[in-house]
Each structure stands twice: as structure tokens, then as C-alpha cells.
Structure 1
Amino acid sequence: MNTDPLMARARLLWESLAGVPVSFASAGGPTVVTAPASALAPPGWVGTVLLGDAAIVTAPTDDVAHAVRRALAGVPTPSFTDPGAVAGAWPVAEVLGPATLAYLSAGDFAPSRPGSVEVDRLPAGHGDLLRLLASVSEEDAGECGLDEITSPVFVVRHGDAVVAAAGYRDWPGDTAHLCVLTAPHVRGRGLARQVASAATAQALAAGRLPQWRARPAASRSVARALGFRELGSQLSARGAQSPTIS
């Protein structure tokens, strides 16, 4: 039985997002449930969250749940969020992820040291943030999630323009889902760590559990530098014969 408080809190979060009663079990393969309203994946998709040595999987219908349960029976637990392993066991038309899931305990927080840049605080939805979002690719803007934050946004400017920003969106279970973006032309200068540190400090001060979900290696590196621990991963998959529900 896993007694890590951080792991326990992360698992409770994702169990609540499944939309139906479900729990992580450390033996016997993944726990697969039918959950049409699951927040683990887009509507009509299969969502898998692996945390530690256990996983939960939500499927849109009983038939899909049965097929996935049977397919994953032969897949090793660490590979439940490996797109290649999943596609090799179950016909998949499209995948999102995998994304690494990392969490932070207050005692492990390693705030960024003050640098040569000043971090300002703006309200969510501020025009300067929207201009930063409009200046990057559609993929970067969608990946960062800064258009959905509920916290203030912490920014660094170059001249009058915001070139780095971070904030968080309130999730269930007093979770703060961190969102970070740096303009391409200033990446690699430590700006993401500066703004993310300020946003993380705000989340901890509010008594929230900071969550960092990322795919790019650079983003994961920033999270680790701040003290986040990678506890697992998430994968969404649409079956070859499971049409997306709009």
C-alpha cells in the first residue's frame, strides 16, 4: 500500500475526475470503468492515468471498456500510458499524450532566486497576456492553458511586451493546475522558472496542491527545478471504431 501523502492526494484528484466511483489498485492490472462524463479524456475517448504502480482507465461505453480491459491485460503496468504499447494491444485511431504528471509538497518547494528581471502580477485575462498568446503558435497557446487560469498571472516583460507568463487554474480537490508560456525568442533564459516560481508560491500560499502536466522535456525540467516530483503520466486514446462525441 502506498503511504506517500503526495501520491495519495494526486490519486484522490484523478479518482474524482473519473466521474464514477473508481480507485487505484496496485495489483491485477488497471481498473477500467465505464464513465461517459469522465474528465480523464475528451468525450468519446479512453482516458488512462498511471500514478505510481497503479492506473485507472475510463471508457465511454461498456463495449469499449470490455475491449480495453481485455487488451490491457497483457500490457505491463508501466506501459499503460505508452502509445506504442497501447496501440499494439488495442486498435487506436488517435492519441493525446502521454503527459507527465508532477506534484509539489510545500516542504519540497525550491523557489527561483530573484534574477535580473522583474516579475509583475496582472489579473487573469489581461490584454498583455492575450497579446502574448496571440503571438505564439496555436499549438503553444493551446498547450499552455493560460487562457483558462483562475489565478492572477505572473509575467516578465521585454520592453512593453509580456514575454513570459504563468498562473494556475483551480481544479477539484484544492488543486492548482500550473500553466506556463514563454515567447519562442526568449526561451532558454530561465524566464519560465521565474514566473512559474511566483505562480507556484501563490498556489501554496492558498493551500493548494500544485500540479504540473507536461510533455516537452524543457517544461518538465522547469518543474523539477522547482521541486515538483513526477508521479505518473496521462494518455488519452480514441479507438479506431470509437467516433469522437461532439
Structure 2
Amino acid sequence: MSIDPLLVRARGLWEDLARVPVSFAPPGGANVVVSPESGLCPAGWAGVVVLGGSAIVTAPSEGAAGIVRDALGKLQVQAVTDGAWDGTLIQEALPVSRMLGPATLAYASPAGFRPVGSDAPAVERLPAAHPDLRSLDQAAGQEDAGEAALDEITSPAFVVRAQGRVVSAAGYQTWPRGTAHISVLTAPEARGRGLARVTASAAVSHALAVGLLPQWRARPAASRRVAAALGFRELGFQLSIEIEIAETGAGPLDETRHLLR
């Protein structure tokens, strides 16, 4: 049976980000490894990524890994990969202090991408460090700006203006394995007009033109709808778990930004 090439590329990215040798388990399974430097989660936390019905899990220590493996042994593994990490089951099975996510992971292929039409509002290209983007961050507020992380994009920014002011912007940060992690932000007063789709379409077009894999990570339903409209396919989710054990060494956490670092 052939394997979805989009899924193969997405899994390769997260296997690299685990920063220790690991591969996704067979369907319905989860492989747990110790990786104190994991890029799946904040330092000192356990990171979970489920793609295509199987999972990888990184833990900061052998003790934490043992706790996770014991929890997996008590749960139906298929339930875990279907989303039990998202609900009360995992909180009952693990000594969870805090959770971040889950955030849906979606990807776009050149064949599946659905760009906006030619009748869409005009899109302007700006340098990633342009001050008008910081003004948009301020207008959107700390939480939404932190979630979008436009200040971290490595691509140009693609923006729509209203009365001379940037009211929507998108771009991407280049991640390992030729991945373009998409960022989108729209000012509160300009939402509901399809502008996120317009600017994101320009950013995704740019990423695909240079051979990158566009990745859309989202928690809000509205963001997931934009991704779906552009042809992104949801392949799984990411979740970070702080387990109640000593010596995590983790410092204060900005939860709006740190779904992955």
C-alpha cells in the first residue's frame, strides 16, 4: 500500500525536531523516547505529535518517559492517536500540571492548494522587519500576536491595507526538512472579510514556488477554516504536557508562543 507523500514529509519534519532517533509507530501506536532538547515542546515538558494515526512522544527524562509509557499501557493506544491526549483521559492517566494545545497540524501540496481568485483584494509585499507589521501586532493584542508570531517569519510579509494601514498579514518561518511554517494575523476590526485567506494564499504560493512544504498549526476553529479553504489537509495534532515531577528545570513559559520551540 502506498504511503501519502504529504504525510511522509510531515512525519520527517517532526522526527527531526525530536532531536533523537525516533520514528512514528505503526498505525495506532506511539513511540516514546527521552529527549531533553526536544523541539516538540517547551524545555522540561513531554511533547506529543500524532500524524496519520500514529504518534511520537518525547520526554525530558527517563522518569518522565516511564510515566508516559505506563499511561499508554493503561489507555487504548488507538484512543490516544484519535485524540484522547486532548481530553480528560490523559489527565486521569498522567500527573499533568499543565497542557498546551492540542494544535491541529495541516499541510498543503501543490496539487491540493486552492489559492484565492483574481478578484481578491490587492496584496502588497513587505520586508519581514517592516514597522507596519509591528503596528498590526499592537492592534491585534498580545495574545493573538503571540499566537501568530509574525515577528519570527523569515519570508517576506504579504499584507492587505485599509486606509493606508496594514490590517492583515501573512508569511512563513523556514523550518527543517524544507518546511514553511505559516503565520497569519488580521486586525480585530477587519476580521470576517476573508483577508486572512487572501494574505495566507500569497504566503503559501510563495512557499510552494520555492519547493517548501506549507504547514498550518492552529487551535482556533476560525484559523482551521481558513486553512481548509486553501486546501490544507489536517493530518494530526501537537500537544505539550508538563508532568508533575521534580527537576524539570523549566522556567516561566509564554503559552501563546511556546507550542513549539
TM-score bucket of the superposed structures, by smaller chain: over 0.9
The match for 2:215 is 211
Structure 1 runs (4+) greater than 6 angstroms displaced: none
Deviation of the 1:49 alpha carbon: 0.1
1:112 to 110, 116, 122: 116
- State the distance in 2 between where 1:116 and 1:37 align: 43
Superposition deviation, residue 81 in structure 1: 3.0
- Look up the equivalent residue of 1:168 and give its one-letter code: Y
Q: Which residue of 1 aligns with 2:244?
A: 240
Query: What letter matches 1:8 in structure 2?
Result: V
- Aligned partner (choices 138, 141, 161) of residue 137 of structure 1: 141
Q: Is 1:220 matched up with 2:249? A: no
Using the TM superposition, give the Cα deviation of residue 230 of structure 1 relative to its aligned residue in structure 2, in angstroms. Answer: 0.2
From 169, 172, 186, the equivalent of 2:176 is: 172
Which residue pairs with 1:8 in the alignment? 8
Shift, 1:80, TM fit: 4.7
Residue of structure 2 in register with 1:67 after alignment? 67
CA deviation string 1:19-43 (max 9, x = no partner): 0000001257310000000000000
TM-score (norm 2): 0.91
SS in structure 1 opposite 2:206? Answer: helix
Q: Using a 3 Å threshold, how does the CA distance of structure 1 residues 116 and 200 change in structure 2: closer, same or farther?
A: closer
1:42 alignment partner in structure 2? 42
Q: Deviations over 1:89-127 (max 9, x none)?
A: 101111110000000110111101134521100000100
Distance 1:26 1:225 in 2: 30
The answer for the alignment partner of 1:54 in structure 2 is 54
Indicate the SS of the match to 2:159: strand
Instruction: Please say if residues 107 and 215 of structure 2, whose CA atoms lie closer than 8 Å, have aligned partners that are also in contact.
Output: yes
Paired residues of 1:98 and 1:234 also in contact (CA < 8 A): yes
The amino acid that maps onto 1:99 is A
Amino acid at match of 1:175: T
The structure-2 alpha-carbon separation of the partners of 1:199 and 1:49, relative to structure 1 and needing over 3 Å to count, comes to same
**1:153 match:** 157
Aligned counterparts of 2:233 and 2:144: Cα–Cα separation in 1: 23
SS of equivalent to 2:189:
helix
CA distance in 1, matches of 2:190, 2:27: 46
Q: CA deviation at 1:172?
A: 0.1
- Contact conserved, 1:45 with 1:244, CA < 8 A, in 2? no
Question: Deviation per CA, 1:125-177, whole angstroms, max 9, x where unpaired?
Answer: 10000110112221101100111000000000111210000000000000000
Structure 2 unmatched runs, 5+: 252-261
Match of 2:167 in 1: 163
1:20 pairs with 2:20: yes
Name whichever of 166-175 and 26-35 sits farther off.
26-35
The question of 1:185 aligning with 2:182 is answered no
| TM-score scaled by length of structure 1 | 0.96
Q: Which runs of 5+ in 1 are unaligned?
A: none
Instruction: Measure the CA separation in 2 of the matches of 1:117 and 1:201.
Output: 16
Aligned to 1:97: 101
Range 209-218 or range 77-86, more displaced: 77-86
Tell me how far apart the structure 2 counterparts of residues 161 and 224 of structure 1 sit (CA, whole Å).
27
Alignment identity in percent?
A: 57
Displacement of 1:236 after TM fit?
0.3
Deviations 1:165-203 (A, max 9, x none): 000000000000000000111101000000000000000
2:6 partner letter: L
Output the CA distance in 2 between the equivalents of 1:23 and 1:80: 21
Instruction: Give the CA deviation at 1:239.
Output: 1.0
Q: How many residues align?
A: 246
Preserved contact between residue 83 and residue 98 of structure 1 (Cα < 8 Å): no
